[in-house]
Structure 1
Amino acid sequence: MLFKQLFDDETWTYTYLIADPVSKEAVLIDPVNTHIDDYLTMLKELGLTLKYTLETHVHADHITASGLLRQKLGAQTGVSALCGAETADIQIKDGDVFTFGQGEQIKVIATPGHTKGSISFLWRDRVFTGDSLFIGGCGRTDFQGGDAGAQYDSIQKLFALPDDTVVYPGHDYQQKWISNIKQEKTTNPRLAGKTREEFIEIMNSLNLPKPRLIDEAVPANRFCGLEENQRQDAIVQREVAREKEAAKADGQPVVDCGGAVHKTGGMTAQDMVAAAKQQITEVTVDKAKQLMAEGGITVVDVREESEYAAGHIDKAILLPRGVLEFKIGTVAELTDKSKPVMIYCRTGGRASMAAVTMKMLGYTQVISIAGGFEAWQKAA
């Protein structure tokens, strides 16, 4: 097998290439957008076909290259279903297995804590831990749904792997490249000999500065790293794909992972939307107009800025789905979480996801317009 550990010295990020030298199928874990040309050159020189780009989480310190690699090479993007990256091809869940090459398998281990959607990847005797576990440390837990207790529990799950399992982290800031489970269990200063309560106290007292790129990176990474002017096309492509998936749905869902793998029972983008719609209330366009005429309801457009500029419901507030959690606190009309809110997008999928997010944030009266802005325009 071919394996390479690549490093971005600006954000101290590790990217990993795994490839089968016979079939030439390859996987990249956590690619960085500023190295897109390097990846393309490397893959071409090695004669490799990139099948997947896999993300350990939605990063706050750099922008992923996965969307660009999908555009240029057709590689499928995989992100945890809990990350809100709705344009990713594969919504990953705990226990999923990616098969490539001649029977090579990458197994998914859910490791929430650094972020709600953090995952690790186990390949042979190597585990790629993202920001869940570093060499002599671990990722912070004070943003993106982070939870120190969950982080501790996730690391204990990793510590249950064989002692000689090689640890490859998502970052390193001390010029270290490699560790193993035994070394981290016995020498990691945040974990060795620490109780869960002690670990939580350590993490909650770090008081680290806000990541420099977080306001740019997180929204971009929820669209697989695509720039804003490219996101609308990606959204449309995924919504069309969801419609096709819904039309084909028959019994247990099957996710086609690039032709080489089938994962039965995996969570597709269509599954995510369907699950979200079960948790929210949708209203017809006529009912939406009635509620607006009665007054007292805030209308929120969760599409992208370019979509909003092309046409929107009168007096609707623009709050794109990708930045909702981070920007909602700045919207004066949404300060009171008990007041009614009505959300819409293009056809309803993003609005359903956004409505669930708002409910999780404490909003008690959130509804969505069935069919979205397309239905609104047709009814005009």
Structure 2
Amino acid sequence: MDIKVQAMGDYQTNCYIVTIDNKDIIIDPGVNALRWISSKVTNPIAILNTHGHFDHVWSNQEVKDKYNIKIYTPKDDNFMLEKDPYGLGMPPSTADFLIKPDEEIELEGIKIKFHHFPGHTPGCSAIQINEHLFTGDFIFKGTIGRFDFPNSDAKLMKQSINKILKWTKDFHIYPGHGDKTTLKSEIQTLKQWERHI
């Protein structure tokens, strides 16, 4: 398994390419991501969104059209893909599969689970592939995602932190912004946030 990452756009949003058995999975193709993606993939099979914020889905449709692949997005965030709620001129995209909370899918023999952690957005999810967790804007190195945006919910963020604190297995965490970390390394930070929300 090979993981490539490139920060995209003004918000330096991480776009990931996960390659397993010569199959490329693209996670969160942000602003102007196609050029970098095109230079790194040989056999793209899907686009996965952790959530619907513009800086994570900006290039969804462009990448989908170039490679004729499907978009998988959490169903509760689908409205953001189609409506450009922040009015920033984001190209709209159409998800092919709306993922239900905590749904597990299989793509060409690769098992993928969308763990639902709402709070930052209604559908915010961490995408698990093997022992790797692509957390979008739920968990970062040393902090968590904001929960004061339109459609954010502090109460749900607290519940999501409670949920992941019950996990006993460690994971490599690849966040939507900044450097990678591990779940074990973030436990104390998560506990502090849980107490203060």
- TM range, smaller chain: 0.7 to 0.9
Q: Using a 3 Å threshold, how does the CA distance of structure 1 residues 123 and 159 change in structure 2: closer, same or farther? A: farther
The question of whether the paired residues in 1 share the 8 Å contact of 2:51 and 2:74 is answered with yes
Structure with more of its chain in helix, by fraction: 1
In 1, distance between residues paired with 2:124 and 2:57? 16
2:173 pairs with 1:170? no
In 1, distance between residues paired with 2:112 and 2:176? 16
2:140 is paired with a residue whose SS is coil
In 2, distance between residues paired with 1:33 and 1:178? 20
The question of whether the paired residues in 2 share the 8 Å contact of 1:161 and 1:181 is answered with no
Structure 1, unpaired ranges of 5+: 201-380
Select which of 104, 108, 111 maps to 2:110.
104
In 1, distance between residues paired with 2:192 and 2:60? 38
The question of whether the paired residues in 2 share the 8 Å contact of 1:116 and 1:144 is answered with no
1:113 is paired with a residue whose SS is coil
Identical-residue share of aligned pairs (%): 28
**Residue 180 of structure 1: CA displacement?**
1.1
What letter is aligned with 1:95?
D
In 2, distance between residues paired with 1:65 and 1:9? 11
1:95 is paired with a residue whose SS is coil
What letter is aligned with 1:135?
K
Select which of 88, 98, 101 maps to 1:94.
101
What letter is aligned with 1:37?
R
The question of whether the paired residues in 1 share the 8 Å contact of 2:116 and 2:124 is answered with yes
2:139 is paired with a residue whose SS is coil
The question of whether the paired residues in 1 share the 8 Å contact of 2:28 and 2:57 is answered with no
The question of whether the paired residues in 1 share the 8 Å contact of 2:73 and 2:99 is answered with yes
Superposition map of 1:1-380 within 5 A: 1-8=1-8, 10-21=10-21, 24-43=22-41, 47-48=42-43, 50-61=44-55, 64-83=58-77, 84=79, 85=81, 87-101=94-108, 103-172=109-178, 177-186=179-188, 188=189, 191-193=190-192, 196=194, 198-200=195-197
**Residue 199 of structure 1: CA displacement?**
2.5
Alignment RMSD (CA, Å): 2.0
**Residue 68 of structure 1: CA displacement?**
0.6
In 2, distance between residues paired with 1:148 and 1:68? 33
In 1, distance between residues paired with 2:73 and 2:57? 14
**Residue 154 of structure 1: CA displacement?**
1.0
In 2, distance between residues paired with 1:138 and 1:10? 19
The question of whether the paired residues in 2 share the 8 Å contact of 1:55 and 1:79 is answered with yes
In 2, distance between residues paired with 1:29 and 1:134? 16
Larger RCO (CA within 8 A; separation ≥ 6): 2
Aligned residues: 184
Structure with more of its chain in strand, by fraction: 2
Residue in 2 that maps onto 1:319 = none
In 2, distance between residues paired with 1:106 and 1:129? 13
**Residue 60 of structure 1: CA displacement?**
4.2
Q: TM-score, normalised by structure 2?
A: 0.84
1:79 is paired with a residue whose SS is strand
**Residue 10 of structure 1: CA displacement?**
3.1
Residue in 1 that maps onto 2:88 = none
In 2, distance between residues paired with 1:108 and 1:193? 25
What letter is aligned with 1:35?
A
